[in-house]
């Protein structure tokens, strides 16, 4: 079992979580950090996951949020990791990075950046979680994603990697490059990229497409609404077949 906790706003990395903002509070407050630490300890204690994630897309937070919020994430996560291990010495803990940011494709584009700062700021990591949406990073076709897209991140500093969230949209209303066929090719390419990195896990953020209005998400989340391997009626999309083929392979 994998558990991943997000300490900030998953749809706006420049901000605290929406409920905290609505309440006029922030992770920068010691009291809120204490609540967060208690929460992740409780999650680890009750669920006993194989891996416990305690911060998400740290490099995107660093690039987008005020320095005080990123500093709060670093402080809270390091304290939480120590708290978890005080209760569970065998706990395996991770944080995630946003791969397109590491490659300089987001937020504004540029050269390869890597994840050295994240590895230093969250040195407690037993694994490196990956968040990857290449269609948002300027890749028009899955075949153009470098085969070392993940393996380069840990070159010279090995650590197990696993994809915690990501995918390729099939919604062609945004751009013709996003369609069911390119999504199928992405799943095939992604499997090869994961093999090159010897990844230990692969999660889609959603198995099904979702209806934004039905679950109360804003229109801006539409770029994530069609990542599913089946549609909102649970009808298979072309990407499901290569996904099933990847997971039909014997587990090592």
For residue 250, name the pLDDT band (cuts at 50, 70, 90): confident
Cα separation, 72 vs 223, in Å, equals 29
172 vs 11, 122, 154, 169, 218, CA distance in Å?
Answer: 21, 38, 34, 8, 19
Please say if the pLDDT value at position 109 is more than 80: no
Find the mean pLDDT for residues 219-230.
91
pLDDT at residue number 27 = 96
* Percent of all residues in the chain with a pLDDT value above 90, rounded to a whole number: 86
For residue 215, name the pLDDT band (cuts at 50, 70, 90): confident
Q: Which pair of tokens denotes residue 83? A: 């708290």
Q: Which pair of tokens denotes residue 169? A: 């949209």
Cα separation, 84 vs 47, in Å, equals 12
- The tens digit of pLDDT for each residue in 149-186 reads 999 999 999 999 999 999 999 999 999 999 999 999 99
For residue 56, name the pLDDT band (cuts at 50, 70, 90): very high
Please say if the pLDDT value at position 251 is more than 80: no
The pTM for the full model equals 0.93
Helix, strand, coil percentages (3-state) for the chain, rounded to 5, are 40, 10, 45
Tell me if the bond preceding 107 is cis, omega within 30° of 0. yes
């Amino acid at each position: 079992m994998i558990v991943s906790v997000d300490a900030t706003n998953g749809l706006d990395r420049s901000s605290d979580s929406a409920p905290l903002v609505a309440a006029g509070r922030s992770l920068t407050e010691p009291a809120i950090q204490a609540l967060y630490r208690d929460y992740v300890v409780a999650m680890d204690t009750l669920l006993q996951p194989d891996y416990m994630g305690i911060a998400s897309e740290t490099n995107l937070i660093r690039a987008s949020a005020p320095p005080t919020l990123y500093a709060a994430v670093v402080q809270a996560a390091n304290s939480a990791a120590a708290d978890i291990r005080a209760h569970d010495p065998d706990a395996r803990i991770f944080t995630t990075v946003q791969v397109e940011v590491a490659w300089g494709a987001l937020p504004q584009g540029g050269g390869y950046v890597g994840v050295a700062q994240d590895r230093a700021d969250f040195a407690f990591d037993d694994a490196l979680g990956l968040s990857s949406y290449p269609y948002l990073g300027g890749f028009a076709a899955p075949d153009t994603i470098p085969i070392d897209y993940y393996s380069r991140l840990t070159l010279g500093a090995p650590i197990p990697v696993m994809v915690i969230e990501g995918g390729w949209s099939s919604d062609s209303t945004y751009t013709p490059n996003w369609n069911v066929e390119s999504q199928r090719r992405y799943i095939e390419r992604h499997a090869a990229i994961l093999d090159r990195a010897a990844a230990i896990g692969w999660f889609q953020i959603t198995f099904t497409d979702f209806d934004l209005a039905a679950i109360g998400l804003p229109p801006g989340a539409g770029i994530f609404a069609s990542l599913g391997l089946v549609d909102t009626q649970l009808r298979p999309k072309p990407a499901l077949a290569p996904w099933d083929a990847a997971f039909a392979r014997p587990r090592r």
